[in-house]
Amino acid sequence: MKKPKLPQHVPVLLREVLDTLKPKPGQVIVDCTVGLAGHAGPILERLGPPSSGGRLIGIDLDAANLSLARERLAATGGRFDLIHSNFAGLPAAIVKAGVEGGRVDAVLADIGIASTQIDDPARGFSYRKPGPLDMRMDPTRGQPASLLLAKMSEKDLAQAILELGDETDAKEIARCIVERRVATPIVTTQDLMAIVCEARNFTIPRASGAKLHPAARTFQALRILVNHEMANLNRLLQILPDVLKPGGIGAIITFHSGEDRPVKYAFRDGVRAGVYAEDCRDPLVADELERENNPRSRSAKLRWIRMPA
């Protein structure tokens, strides 16, 4: 019997990540969002065999991702540890992996969602596929999106959709959601998608053919809320200097302005305060070829910092 193929995943800004981190044999590097090992695999290959002392620590909130990442990383022959955790708990994860001194050579975080999560209708991330309105990256903890939608005020909902989704029709969408939930609970992805389309004056067929689906930004905002992504990102920015060795590098990939802004300011302020030796100033973005071949890369920005030697 043939072994089933692993899901394909094209990592964004892979060349830029490798050029920034410059993985070398003997180093210890953490991938805070290991996903399907799209970045972690090539990094581990450059860390050399276990005899070199190099190792990769992969963290992910989604246990299903860790299972897939394990197989990909094992194929490299390098040493790695996978930890089911939120990257907000990075220091504890490093200690759990047994890293001496609790500091590593580099930390990478790709803030976003894995293709496996979008492609599985049962996870409730996709506005294109019918499924329960869940959106939890770790289905064993927290509240599903349907429960969150059922109790948020119209004002708070509008603010979240605007700030976390960059959605200019946030007020109208929030008003429509609150009106509809009085009559019928919003429990499926299609329920929410239809409401957003109505609020934005899109028919379902027209929405399906749009370059950017009218529900995309609302789904993004709700996913960020459900998984406390902004709080976790802010915590990562706070603890990053404490887990990097002298000369160590931190790199974060973001996908919308609400994520990029705190990274930009934290890195800039860290340089001014002398916490970091330097930052990238301008973010690294995908070249034209990558943007054509991988639509997810179009909004990606990579920012990095380096610790004083």
- As its CATH architecture, domain 14-115+229-306 has 3-Layer(aba) Sandwich (3.40)
- The fold adopted by the segment(s) 138-226 is DNA polymerase; domain 1 (1.10.150)
DSSP 46: H
DSSP 78: -
The pLDDT assigned to 3 comes to: 45
The pLDDT assigned to 1 comes to: 44
Signed CA dihedral, 122, 128, 134, 139: sign only? positive
What whole-number distance in Å separates Cα of residue 303 and Cα of residue 108?
10
As annotated, the residues of the chain forming the CATH 1.10.150.170 domain(s) are 138-226
The pLDDT assigned to 293 comes to: 92
The pLDDT assigned to 296 comes to: 84
The pLDDT assigned to 119 comes to: 87
The pLDDT assigned to 9 comes to: 65
Distances (CA, A) of 147 to 94, 165, 185, 222, 284: 34, 19, 9, 11, 37
The pLDDT assigned to 187 comes to: 97
DSSP 61: S
**Residues lower than pLDDT 50 in the chain:** 1-7
Helices 216-226 + 154-165 axis angle, to 10? 110
As annotated, the residues of the chain forming the CATH 3.40.50.150 domain(s) are 14-115+229-306
What whole-number distance in Å separates Cα of residue 22 and Cα of residue 252?
15
E strand spans, the chain: 28-31, 55-60, 79-84, 104-110, 244-254, 278-279, 301-306
The pLDDT assigned to 6 comes to: 42
98 Ramachandran zone, left/alpha/beta (phi>0; psi -120 to 50): left
What whole-number distance in Å separates Cα of residue 279 and Cα of residue 249?
10
Tell me the pLDDT tens digit for each residue of 130-177.
999 999 999 999 999 999 999 999 999 999 999 999 999 999 999 999
Beta partners for residue 188, in sequence order: 132
Tally of CB atoms within 10 A around 216 = 17
